[in-house]
Amino acid sequence: MQPRSLLRVGITGTVIAIICCFTPVLVVLLGVVGLSAAVGWLDYVLLPALAVFVGITLYAMMKVRKA
């Protein structure tokens, strides 16, 4: 994967994870659809996803600076 596209993926994933973690968007959407029982498990999925996407972003930034 090219460093620039990897950087785009990392930033996009980070922004989506931040929106879902720190705003009630995902909680409201799951409640509307009828999956509000899954809200208790969001922290186990979203916080590691946020960490992975931040890591991808940092890795891609290092690759872009080298290139």
Nearest to 27 by CA among 10, 49, 43: 43
Helix axes 42-66, 25-33, angle to 10 degrees: 130
Q: Where are the domains of the chain?
A: 3-66
- Cβ atoms of 14 and 50 within 8 Å: the answer is yes
More confident: 21 or 62: 62
pLDDT of residue 67: 76
Higher-confidence position of 25 and 5: 5
pLDDT in tens, 22-65: 777 778 888 888 887 877 787 788 889 889 999 999 999 999 89
Alpha helices by DSSP H, listed for 34-66, are 42-66
d(CA 56, CA 18): 15
Tokens of 62: 């290092």
